[in-house]
Amino acid sequence: MPFVSTLIQPPSSPSGNQPVLLSSGHIPKIPLFSGEDPVPRNAITFYEWRHEVRCLMQDSTYISSQVLQAIRNSLRGTARKLVSLGDSASVDLIFQKLDVNFAEPARKGITMKEFFNASQKLEETVTSFGCRLEAILEQAFEGGHLPRSAKNELMCERLWSGLHSEALKSSTRHKLDSSQQYDQLLKDIRQVEKELKLSNPPKTRAHSNVQIQQQYAKTTQRFRVKIQLSGFRDSIQCGPAV
């Protein structure tokens, strides 16, 4: 169900034309986090999850009770058991509990090595890859190992360098050179990614099966011809029966 907001005129507004945005009660969705190691395929790491929640908390569209319910809905397994703190548990209390159990002490060498070695996975979109990079870099910021002013340059360079598609990298190299902001670079790369997918649609399973069948038919035919030629040569060498 899409989010729907309502604009009303507050009775106390002196001008009578200042709209107030009210929440519809819709609960936003956050990717799952369980605290399990290795991370399940349908879940994300703690740092990625925490980044998602913080972004949601900065969205004025939602009130605290909606964010709190979204957090509860996103937790599974061990993480879910840890936050069974009663109905009065706040977002800050849940964060504190999960930080104690799942946050690792930020170590500059390890964190930055992970950041610079990160690359886009085969089935990962550019957007997801960018979110993963931001989550890694956030650890370095929280540990005081890097100033936040370095984020833009680091994210631009690593996002482009870590792309797995050479065609995408080649088509967006000039974007990296000309872009001054990470958000704009991400937007430009996503656009090119979409265009490349439209111009090179993935082959369907049915199409692949047809290709396999055609190749099998060609191979079989060549094999039959080879056998026939071999039999013909043998008959010539043996000559007519006496």
Query: Which pLDDT score, from 0 to 100, does residue 14 have?
Result: 41
- Chain centroid, CA 230 distance in Å: 57
Q: What predicted TM-score, i.e. pTM, was given to this entire model?
A: 0.52
C-alpha span between 134 and 110 (Å, rounded): 15
Phi, psi (deg, nearest 5) at residue 104: -95, 145
**Token digits of residue 94:** 């849940």
Domain residue ranges of the chain, discontinuous segments joined by +: 20-102, 108-199
Phi, psi (deg, nearest 5) at residue 230: -65, -40
C-beta separation of 99 from 53 below 8 A:
no
C-beta separation of 145 from 112 below 8 A:
yes
Query: Which pLDDT score, from 0 to 100, does residue 157 have?
Result: 94
Task: Report the half-sphere exposure of 131 (CA within 13 A, side-chain side).
Answer: 18
CA distances from 157 to 73, 116, 131, 154, 227 (A): 35, 10, 14, 5, 59
State the 10-residue block means of pLDDT for the chain, 242 residues long: 37 40 70 88 86 81 87 89 72 84 70 89 88 85 83 94 94 88 93 89 54 60 61 55 50
Query: Which pLDDT score, from 0 to 100, does residue 88 have?
Result: 67
C-beta separation of 168 from 193 below 8 A:
yes
- In this structure, CATH architecture of domain 108-199: Orthogonal Bundle (1.10)
Query: Which pLDDT score, from 0 to 100, does residue 234 have?
Result: 56
- Chain centroid, CA 171 distance in Å: 21
H or E element that contains 87: none
C-beta separation of 29 from 70 below 8 A:
yes
Read off the amino acid at residue 179: S
Task: Return all residues near 54 (Cβ < 8 A) that are at least 6 apart.
Answer: none
H or E element that contains 151: helix 151-161
**Token digits of residue 170:** 């080649």
